Amino acid sequence: MTTELPDASAPAPYVVRFRRLPPVLMVVTGALLCGKAIRWIADALHGGHPDRVPPPLALAVASVLLTAAGAVRLARARRFNGVAFAVDAYGITLAASRDGARRFVWDEVSALVLFSRRTEFVQGTVRCVGLRLHPTAPGSPERHLAELDEAVSRHDLPLDAWDRLRRLDRRPSGEELVLAVSVHAEARGWRYHPARLARAMRAHAPGVPVAREPSERYYDLVGWRADQEELRRILEDAELRPWC
């Protein structure tokens, strides 16, 4: 019996893992804040001077938020053995997407898109990695437009569904469709190096381009997915609700 050895000449996979230290610090900080809130309440009950320390409500809320966020990030770090993003000979692993951990083979991917979005509460941006799927793949914008055309051509929908469909029928231009991403992940709790990622893509999938887009194009890249979800809700409501 012979054992097949791995090909030493094959390019190494590009793997990015979740960082464990920040979420651990978040959990510890949350626990310390919770302890401070408990001491504030104890001092108040024993006639101390609670006005000299921050109110317990703010401390309790902060401790819960920090602990929960840290616990969620630690749970995410355990997925796929801590891998957040990977590029190898078989495809791309995207464990940090909002749709959950998924793996895409190269036959599904037509482009890798690097972009960013502006954060809402804190001034700044967060970097994102998105995948543009082939037009025939489920979840592609072309498939969404085909499903929208099919819905518009139906004659068994109630009038309010027709109104919602007409408002939804906003056709993206051909340029907007070129790199519109079907799935993406925000680089939170992990980081990627653009130059190394580009080299890994050239090594493992030389036919799949890597595009970089500014934060101003964020809605053009992912906004169509809100229309996709709304179309699904319209059709579900129409199927569940009888009408005359």
Q: Could you read off the pLDDT of 220-239 as tens digits, one per residue?
A: 888 888 888 888 888 888 77
Judged on CB neighbours under 10 Å (0-12, 13-18, 19+), 234 is buried
Residue position matching structure tokens 């051909």 = 174
Position 196 pLDDT exceeds 90: yes
209 has pLDDT over 90? yes
Could you say which DSSP state residue 133 is in?
E
Q: Nearest to residue 143, comparing CAs of 98, 167, 177, 184?
A: 177
Residue type, 61: V
- Cβ contact 37:31 at 8 Å: no
Query: What is the β-pairing status of strands 83-87 and 91-94?
Result: antiparallel
The answer to whether 143 touches 77, Cβ cutoff 8 Å, is no
Quick count: other Cβ atoms within 10 Å of Cβ 70? 21
**Alpha-carbon torsion, ordered 213, 124, 67, 190, to 10 deg:** 40
CA-based nearest residue to 222, from 172, 152, 164: 172
The predicted-structure confidence for 97-148, as pLDDT tens digits, reads as follows 766 678 899 999 999 999 998 877 666 788 999 999 998 888 888 888 888 8
Q: How confident is the model at residue 80 (pLDDT cuts 50, 70, 90)?
A: low
Instruction: Determine the Cα–Cα distance for residues 70 and 64; give it in Å rounded to an integer.
Output: 10
Per-residue pLDDT tens over the stretch 163-188: 888 887 666 666 667 778 999 988 88
> Would the pLDDT of 40 be above 50?
yes
Query: How large is the average pLDDT for residues 3-22?
Result: 65
Output the average pLDDT for the chain: 75
Report, as an integer, the average pLDDT of 67-87: 64
pTM, full prediction: 0.69
Q: Which secondary structure element, helix H or strand E, spans residue 64, and what is its range?
A: helix 56-78
